[in-house]
Structure 1
Amino acid sequence: MLELRSLDAGYGSFQALFGINLDVKAGEAVGVIGPNGAGKTTLMRVISGLIRPIKGSIAMEGQDVVATPAHRIVDLGIAHVPENRRLFPRLTVDDNLKMGAYMPGARAKYAERLEFVFDLFPRMKERRGQMAGTMSGGEQQMCAIGRALMSDPKLLLLDEPSAGLAPVVVQQVFELVKRIRAGGLTVLIVEQNVQQVLKVVDRAYLLEAGTIRASGTSEEMLSTDTIKQAYLGV
Structure 2
Amino acid sequence: MLELKSVDAGYGTFQALFGVSLDVKAGEAVGVIGPNGAGKTTLMRVISGLIRPRAGTITMEGADVLKTPEHRIVSLGIAHVPENRRLFPRLTVEDNLKMGAFMPEARAHFAERLDFVFDLFPRMKERRHQMAGTMSGGEQQMCAIGRALMSDPKLLLLDEPSAGLAPVVVQQVFELVKRIRAGGLTVLIVEQNVQQVLKVVDRAYLLEAGSIRASGKSSEMLADDSIRQAYLGV
TM-score normalised by structure 1 residue count: 1.00
In the other structure, the counterpart of 2:207 is 207
Tell me the equivalent position of 1:44. 44
Task: Name which of structure 1's ranges 23-32 and 219-228 shifts more when overlaid on structure 2.
Answer: 219-228
Runs (4+) off by over 3 Å: none
- Report the 3-state secondary structure (helix = DSSP H, G, I; strand = E; otherwise coil) of the residue aligned with 2:37: coil
Amino acid at match of 1:49: G
SS at match of 2:73: helix
Matched, 1:78 2:73: no
Cα distance in 1, alignment partners of residues 61 and 166 from structure 2: 37
Q: In the TM superposition, what is the alpha-carbon distance from 1:209 to its structure 2 partner? A: 0.2
Equivalent-residue separation in structure 2 for 1:14 and 1:117 (angstroms): 39
Q: What is the CA–CA distance in structure 1 between the aligned matches of 2:165 and 2:28, rounded to whole Å?
A: 25
CA distance in 2, matches of 1:216, 1:15: 26
Residue 154 of structure 1 corresponds to: 154
Deviations 1:113-149 (A, max 9, x none): 0000000000000000000000000000000000000
Q: Determine whether 1:132 maps to 2:148.
A: no
Distance in 2 (CA, whole Å) between partners of 1:160 and 1:107 is 28
Aligned pairs (5 A) from 1:147-226: 147-226=147-226
CA distance in 2, matches of 1:14, 1:225: 32
In the alignment, structure 2 segments of 5+ residues that lack a partner are: none
Report the Cα offset of residue 23 of structure 1: 0.3
Secondary structure of residue in 2 paired with 1:200: coil
How many Å apart are 1:225 and its aligned residue? 1.4
Count of equivalent residues: 234
Provide the secondary structure at the position in 1 that maps to 2:66.
Answer: coil
- The CA distance in 2 between the partners of 1:98 and 1:43, in whole Å, is 26
Q: 2-side partners of 1:166 and 1:174: how far apart?
A: 13
Match of 1:29 in 2: 29
Quote the Cα distance in structure 2 between the aligned partners of 1:46 and 1:193. Answer: 22
SS at match of 1:91: coil
Question: 1: CA distance between counterparts of 2:104 and 2:79?
Answer: 15
Return the alpha-carbon distance in structure 2 between the equivalents of residues 139 and 60 of structure 1.
30
Alpha-carbon distance, 1:226 to partner: 1.6
Letter in 1 for 2:32: V
Q: Distance in 1 between matches of 2:202 and 2:145?
A: 20
Unaligned runs of 5+ in 1: none
Q: Work out the percentage of aligned pairs sharing the same amino acid.
A: 88
Per the normalisation by structure 2, the TM-score is: 1.00
Deviation digits for residues 159-185 of structure 1, max 9, x if unmatched? 000000000000000000000000000
Amino acid at match of 1:115: D
C-alpha deviation, 1:92, in angstroms? 0.2
Instruction: Spell out, residue by residue over 1:91-129, the C-alpha distance to the aligned partner (whole angstroms, 9 max, x if none).
Output: 000000000000000001101100000000000000000
Q: CA deviation at 1:150?
A: 0.1
The aligned runs of 1:5-16 (5 Å cut-off) are 5-16=5-16
Counterpart Cα distance in 1 of 2:2 and 2:39: 18
Q: Distance in 2 between matches of 1:169 and 1:30?
A: 21
Secondary structure at 2:67 match in 1: coil
